[in-house]
Structure 1
Amino acid sequence: MLFTRKKTLNDELADAVPQDRPGAKNKPTPKRRDQEAARRQPLVVTDRKVAKDIEKQKRREGMAKQRQAMVTGDDANLPVRDKGPQRRFIRDYVDARWSVGEVVLPIMVLVLALSFLKTSWALMAVFVLTYGLIAVAVIDAVLMWRRIKSRLIAKFGASGVPSGVTMYAVMRAFQLRPTRMPKPQVKRGDYPS
């Protein structure tokens, strides 16, 4: 205490202020080389087992996001074949209407059961139901596609019909509504504008 100086008012105020202030950094700035070393990761993981586990985890997360997008219709995480406003328009249009293609599978189960009967009327019914239903479903799909195409051109312009969407629409129309993926986002009769 012999060679100490008296504390001034500024020294007393500095001691009274708490050191950990909310919103402040409250620590010294780290050196650049330490930060770069902390961020540095090898391009190729040397341990193959760890690399395989990391890749598997990333794949699982990606697939989980994709499955969720298939249920909710989130365009950002959908697979490439389902992305885009034109494909969403096609999905919504197909889901809004009744298609003959939807009933093909259930009726074909009935036709299969009829084919086990060896009577002449059952075989004739199998023939008529099989080929008649397929012909009606194809005609319905062609008419549906012509309507969708004209609406796509009206909404998105002449270049609004990308390649491959014809089969996309037809295959969706031939699926049972509850089994369609991505799940239908519109009710029947709610056609997109």
Structure 2
Amino acid sequence: MFGRSNDPQDATPVTAQATPSPDGKGRPTPKRKEAEAANKRPLVPTDRKAAGKAGRQQAKEQRDREYRAMQTGDERFMPAKDRGPQRRFVRDWVDARWNLAELILPAAAVLLVVQLTLSKAAPLLAALAILVLYVFVLAAIVDGWLMWRRLKKAFAAKFGIDAPPKGTMSYALIRTFQIRPSRMPKPQVKHGQRPS
């Protein structure tokens, strides 16, 4: 009942054929020793000088490709932090707007020169120049906060999410405080040209 069958017709011969499996492998799994031998590589290359030179050359080519992409707006080769439609929308929103923050560096340079030149001759005017600089910085911070509020609303309307992803606010504000010609990736929209 539970024993082996003595009937020779029940025993079907099993042939070891290499039939392709549904996943398409079509070959037997290699033994562990063979797989490890195939993956063995030296930890330190035999010609370290040539390997270092090749690594530096590869890194330089990658940097050049990223720089060209940042200049032209080609998102395929941009760094990961700048890729995607959401980051592009943030960049275009900031670049289309006149921001007080982008004028901080030129204003600070002018006001500090005025303060240094007038410090001996007219100390009151020198103090006034520094005060104007502080007021300008505070106004730029308020302007950046207003920009972020409007950007959040536009972002939610465009992408249909409640809150932008983490890091979007700092991405937008850092770009706001950069002088427009020095922004990377380069601005792809003109002032006043709002992104759709």
TM-score range, shorter chain: 0.7 to 0.9
2:134 aligns to what?
131
Shift of 1:43: 4.2
Shift of 1:140: 0.4
Alignment partner of 2:178 out of 172, 175, 179 = 175
Conserved 8 A contact 2:144-2:176? yes
1:80 aligns with 2:80: yes
Work out the CA distance in 2 between the residues paired with 1:57 and 1:159.
Answer: 44
Flag as ranges the 4+ runs of structure 1 deviating above 2 A.
Answer: 40-46
Conserved 8 A contact 2:112-2:130? no
Residues 112-121 or 53-62, more deviating: 112-121
Instruction: Give the letter for the 2:74 counterpart.
Output: D
Q: CA RMSD in A?
A: 1.9
1:147 aligns to what?
150
Identity over aligned pairs, percent: 42
Work out the CA distance in 2 between the residues paired with 1:92 and 1:61.
Answer: 28
Shift of 1:160: 5.9
1:121 aligns to what?
124
2:105 aligns to what?
105
Note the alpha carbon deviations across 1:55-75, whole angstroms, 9 max, x for none.
112111111110101101111
Residues 88-97 or 110-119, more deviating: 110-119
Instruction: Give the letter for the 2:154 counterpart.
Output: R
TM-score (normalizing by structure 1): 0.74
Instruction: Give the letter for the 2:69 counterpart.
Output: A
Taking the TM superposition and a 5 Å limit, the aligned residue runs for 1:160-171 are 161-171=164-174
User: Structure 1 pair 159/61, CA: closer, same or farther in 2 (3 Å)?
Assistant: farther
Residues 107-116 or 44-53, more deviating: 44-53
User: Structure 1 pair 51/103, CA: closer, same or farther in 2 (3 Å)?
Assistant: same
2:50 aligns to what?
50
Note the alpha carbon deviations across 1:132-173, whole angstroms, 9 max, x for none.
101110010000011111111111122661111111111111
User: Structure 1 pair 76/89, CA: closer, same or farther in 2 (3 Å)?
Assistant: same
Work out the CA distance in 1 between the residues paired with 2:130 and 2:178.
Answer: 22
Conserved 8 A contact 2:156-2:164? yes
Shift of 1:120: 3.5
Conserved 8 A contact 1:86-1:160? no
Work out the CA distance in 1 between the residues paired with 2:162 and 2:76.
Answer: 22
Conserved 8 A contact 1:96-1:186? yes
Work out the CA distance in 2 between the residues paired with 1:55 and 1:171.
Answer: 32
Work out the CA distance in 2 between the residues paired with 1:140 and 1:159.
Answer: 22
